[in-house]
Amino acid sequence: MQLKKRSRSKKGIRNSSIERDNGTSPKVKKYWIQRYDLFSRYDEGIEMDEEGWYSVTPEEIAIKQAERCRGKVVIDCFSGVGGNTIQFAKVCSSVIAIDIDPKKVELAINNAMVYGVADNVDFVVGDFIKLAPSLKGDVLFLSPPWGGPMYNKVESFKMDMLQPIDGYSLFQIAQSITPNIIMFLPRNVDLDQLEELAWLSSPPLTLEIEENCVGGRLKAITAYFSYNAV
């Protein structure tokens, strides 16, 4: 496990311009057009890589998810370029942001600095699955890989399509840390399977499903599990 220093000098905020990413591949361009939905402060130095464009949580959704965790210690287990981490850092007591890819963690540090919240985050490069036994927190936020932009080509997204391990195993690991678990999932996720996760837990957990829309279109589902409401 490598702990990243929360140092401002590590990586300066770089200047960005609208032109900076406007020459990207057509695949990314589709996401680039929505850049202000992803980061309202995009022009102030936000940095992304290609995978980041596909997987970052739109800001409006991340704000809502963070509001549910106000004042808590949150672990953002697959933090990517930091869309959720930033919003948690604004309202939570502290955040542990984990990603297996050092490049993603660098980008997340930069992006958290753009929003002025990097000091409230412990950035960790590591495999969440391996780190789990050593983690402590009030709420676990799971936004695991959905398998790239193809996730919505299936009619019903199943728990075993999640990576790096299936959703059932992931949930079990998460529960060993806290019963307060938030999962950010594709809009076509099998809701019966989510209910199964809740009632198969011992004791059974409550489950609240939130539909996440941006611009009036359903983008994703957030599942809030807890003994009581998180």
Binding residues for ligand ADP (CB under 6 A): 51, 54-55, 78, 80, 98-101, 104, 127-129, 145-148, 164
Between 128 and 224, CB nearer to ligand ADP: 128
> Min. distance of Cβ 216 from ligand ADP in angstroms?
22
Question: Using alpha carbons only, what angle is made at residue 78 by residues 53 and 110, rounded to the nearest 5 degrees?
Answer: 60
DSSP symbols for 27-94: HHHHHHTTHHHH-TTGGGT----HHHHHHPPPHHHHHHHHHTTTTSEEEETT-TTSHHHHHHHHHSSE
If the CB atoms of residues 101 and 196 are measured against ligand ADP, the closer one turns out to be 101
- Which of these, 140, 142, 181, lies nearest to 163 by C-alpha position? 142
Rounded Cα distance between 176 and 135, Å, is 10
Report, in Å, the least distance between residue 85 CB and ligand ADP: 11
Q: C-beta of 16: minimal distance to ligand ADP in Å?
A: 20
Residues in CB range of 216: below 8 A, 6 or more apart: none
In terms of CB distance, is 145 or 179 closer to ligand ADP?
145
The nearer residue to ligand ADP, 101 or 206, going by C-beta atoms, is 101
Nearer to ligand ADP, 193 or 206 (CB): 193
Q: Which two structure tokens, joined as six digits, stand for 98?
A: 């984990």
Cα distance from N-terminal residue to C-terminal residue, the chain:
29
By C-beta, is 18 or 166 nearer to ligand ADP?
166
Any bridge partners for residue 30, and if so which?
none
Q: How far is the CB of 55 from ligand ADP (least distance, A)?
A: 3
3-state secondary structure of 126: coil
Q: How far is the CB of 166 from ligand ADP (least distance, A)?
A: 13
Nearest distance in Å: CB 150, ligand ADP: 9
Measured from each CB, the residue nearest to ligand ADP is: 55
